[in-house]
């Protein structure tokens, strides 16, 4: 099955995304973030839950030692970026498509010890909270088993600097597309700075 670009226009995909992110997808939804959405305690808890970090490039993979200096730096960077997610694409990916991404794109995967509830920086309007899990401040909560950070998009699917979060439903993992949107000079764009930071850490690994 051919991988869909983000964001596709099919309304049916929005229904399926309901199942993968423990909340209903809002098609074309790009809600704003606030600086106080993330606490150090939340980040520390998420960091402690990471079981494995795997780097994929040119069809090969490398398991990163999470207790090494570089591994600690990667886990810290990537878990923080998970909490900073604020822009959802109306798209889903099957496990087969994820395997193709791992084979052809350059990416890093975070795998948690068990499913993890992660508070992200997408603020949900009060009238929408009845069907979308949120914390006490109104920020969305995602149930995540693992996350794939796309550093380089060789498949041409417009996934560079995007983060795919995996959520288990009825015994299988489905993936939804996310990004970190920031506003600079009056324009909203996808934050790609984490890719450079991750590249620097990778270059210093033994």
Tens-digit pLDDT profile for the chain (206 aa)?
344 445 433 323 333 343 334 343 333 333 333 445 678 999 999 999 999 999 999 999 999 999 999 999 999 999 999 999 999 987 889 889 999 999 999 999 999 999 999 999 999 999 999 999 999 999 999 999 999 999 999 999 999 999 999 998 888 899 999 999 988 777 889 999 999 999 999 999 98
| Phi, psi dihedral angles at 151 (to 5 degrees) | -90, -40
**Sign, Cα dihedral of 96, 94, 50, 201:** positive
Look at residue 113 in the predicted model and tell me its pLDDT: 96
Look at residue 109 in the predicted model and tell me its pLDDT: 98
Supply the pTM of this predicted model: 0.83
Beta-carbon contacts of 64 under 8 Å, excluding residues fewer than 6 positions away, are 52, 53, 54, 55, 70, 71, 74, 205
């Amino acid at each position: 099955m051919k991988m869909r670009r983000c964001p596709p226009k099919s309304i049916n995909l929005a229904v399926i995304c309901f199942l993968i992110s423990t909340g209903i997808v809002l098609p074309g939804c790009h809600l704003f973030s606030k600086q106080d959405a993330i606490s150090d305690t939340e980040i520390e808890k998420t960091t402690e839950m990471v079981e494995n970090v795997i780097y994929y490039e040119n069809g090969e993979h490398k398991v990163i030692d999470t207790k090494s200096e570089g591994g600690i730096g990667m886990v810290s960077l990537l878990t923080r970026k998970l909490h900073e997610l604020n822009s959802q694409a109306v798209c889903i990916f099957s496990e087969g498509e994820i395997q193709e991404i791992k084979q052809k794109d350059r990416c890093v995967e975070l795998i948690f010890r068990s499913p993890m509830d992660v508070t992200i920086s997408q603020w949900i309007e009060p009238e929408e909270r009845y069907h979308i899990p949120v914390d006490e401040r109104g920020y969305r909560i995602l149930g995540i088993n693992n996350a794939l950070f796309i550093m380089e998009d060789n498949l041409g699917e417009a996934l560079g600097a995007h983060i795919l979060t995996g959520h288990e439903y009825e015994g299988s993992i489905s993936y939804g597309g996310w990004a970190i949107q920031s506003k600079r000079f009056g324009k909203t764009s996808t934050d790609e700075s984490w890719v450079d930071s991750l590249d620097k850490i990778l270059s210093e690994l033994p």
